[in-house]
């Protein structure tokens, strides 16, 4: 099962329909600085936050009705989920779940109505009575998505509704690496793949031979960050625990990479990551080069063992040499195949064009010519014998 297509329209500079076909292990979006790569990732990040936490937490004020459509392939059936959001008011305008294969709408919510009678045949009598209660409560709730709420309920006595769980899982497994703040929480990063990370760094001829923790007390952390930044981190940690219902995170905070664990501050376990090099030098994350920081975060993020994940990464190879980028993407693509997972990423590393790591169906060009335009390379009529980089430079 997988997300097979994402369509976005009316989000900031994304005016026309952006169609992303996700039939391959990797989808690469190439674009120059200022062409909207980050905006594309940000649009998905805002949807994900709204799906997970409700749109009351959205920070973006987008003066449009933004429309998202997701298609899912689950057990040879194609489902679609369509949502329209008014980000300016943080309100859900429309929400529809339907079965494309059977041409059947399961529920449709608009500003005036909520129709879900088609779900009745999928639920047993008791579960449908529960569903009616939930739907009544959600009818006037413009902050919470119906699908998100149903995904969190137990309808295991109605096995025909299992596809709702699958769709919810696939949306929750859109892991989005989006650099939007001085503090970032990585609840999905673990240290369980530590050995694989070190082995890969060795394979890439990088001089790091170990990553270790340096334990800090609260006073140490306050001295490290300064009082204002420390207060900011602690406030964010409280909020993140409430929103995610977790109490253990890797955290990027003002240039440092930390691991925080604990329900309250009396027993908060704080560790700073330190990187041990083959020349016996020891550096914290703050002291590393920009390219090495970016690479380490990306690898820690991608080297997980979950299945059916869609990794969405902004500026995948920022400040990373293209030859190193090539080795990394070869490794990641093969690894993701083993876990039935995929990656969608943005980059301006055009030297990857002709390295046989992507086919034309996996590559998109993002351009700004009067408006933002997203084009898949295999639809542009490029001659098969033409070098892609040469073709691009001639445009």
pTM reported for the whole predicted model: 0.92
Tens-place pLDDT, residues 26-42? 999 999 988 889 999 99
Tens-place pLDDT, residues 87-100? 988 899 999 999 99
Report the candidate in 289, 322, 293 with the shortest Cα–Cα distance to residue 28: 322
Mean pLDDT of 142-161: 92
Other CB atoms within a 10 A radius of the CB of residue 140 amount to: 7
What is the separation, in whole angstroms, between the first and last Cα of the chain? 38
Domain ranges of the chain: 1-173+306-395, 181-305
Residue 106: pLDDT band (50, 70, 90) is very high
- pLDDT number for residue 55: 87
Mean pLDDT of 284-313: 92
Mean pLDDT of the chain: 91
* Residue 56: DSSP 8-state: G
Higher pLDDT, 178 or 169: 169
CATH for the stretch 1-173+306-395: 3.40.50
Tens-place pLDDT, residues 172-202? 999 998 877 788 888 777 788 888 999 999 9
Asked if residues 24 and 5 have their Cβ atoms less than 8 Å apart, the reply is no
Residue 67 belongs to what H/E stretch?
strand 65-74
Tens-place pLDDT, residues 52-78? 988 875 556 666 799 999 999 999 999
- pLDDT number for residue 60: 61
By the 10 Å C-beta count (0-12 exposed, 13-18 middle, 19+ buried), 385 is classed as: exposed
């Amino acid at each position: 099962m997988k997300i097979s297509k994402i369509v976005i329209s009316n989000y900031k500079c994304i005016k026309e329909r952006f169609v992303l076909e996700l039939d391959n292990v990797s989808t690469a979006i190439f674009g120059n600085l200022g062409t909207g790569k980050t905006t594309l990732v940000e649009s998905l990040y805002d949807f994900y936050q709204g799906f997970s936490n409700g749109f009351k937490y959205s920070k973006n004020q987008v003066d449009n009705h933004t429309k998202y459509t997701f298609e899912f392939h689950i057990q040879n059936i194609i489902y679609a989920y369509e949502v329209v959001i008014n980000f300016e008011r943080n309100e859900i305008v429309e929400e529809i779940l339907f079965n494309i294969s059977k041409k059947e709408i399961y529920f449709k919510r608009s500003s005036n109505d909520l129709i879900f009678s088609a779900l009745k045949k999928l639920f047993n009598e008791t579960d449908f009575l529960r569903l009616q209660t939930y739907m009544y409560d959600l009818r006037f709730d413009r902050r919470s998505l119906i699908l998100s709420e149903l995904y969190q309920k137990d309808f295991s006595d109605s096995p025909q509704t299992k596809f709702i769980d699958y769709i919810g899982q696939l949306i929750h497994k859109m892991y989005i690496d989006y650099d939007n703040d001085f503090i970032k929480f990585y609840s999905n990063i673990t240290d369980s793949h530590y050995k694989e990370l070190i082995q890969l760094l060795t394979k890439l001829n990088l001089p790091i031979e170990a990553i270790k923790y340096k334990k800090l007390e609260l006073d140490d952390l306050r001295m490290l960050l300064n009082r204002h930044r420390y207060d900011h981190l602690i406030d964010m940690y409280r909020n993140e625990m409430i929103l995610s219902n977790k109490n253990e995170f890797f955290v990027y905070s003002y240039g440092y990479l930390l691991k925080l664990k604990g329900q309250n501050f009396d027993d908060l376990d704080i560790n700073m990551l330190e990187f041990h090099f083959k020349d016996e030098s020891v550096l914290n994350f703050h002291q590393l080069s920009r390219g090495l920081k970016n690479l380490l975060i990306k690898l820690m993020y991608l080297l997980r063992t979950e299945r059916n994940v869609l990794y969405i990464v902004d500026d995948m190879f920022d400040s990373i040499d293209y030859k190193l980028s090539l080795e990394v993407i070869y490794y990641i693509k093969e690894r993701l195949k083993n876990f039935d997972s995929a990656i969608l990423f943005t980059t301006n590393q055009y030297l990857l064009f002709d390295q046989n790591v992507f086919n034309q169906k996996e590559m998109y060009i993002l351009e700004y010519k009067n408006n933002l335009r997203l084009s898949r390379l295999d639809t542009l009529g490029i001659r098969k014998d033409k070098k892609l980089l040469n073709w691009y430079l001639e445009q």
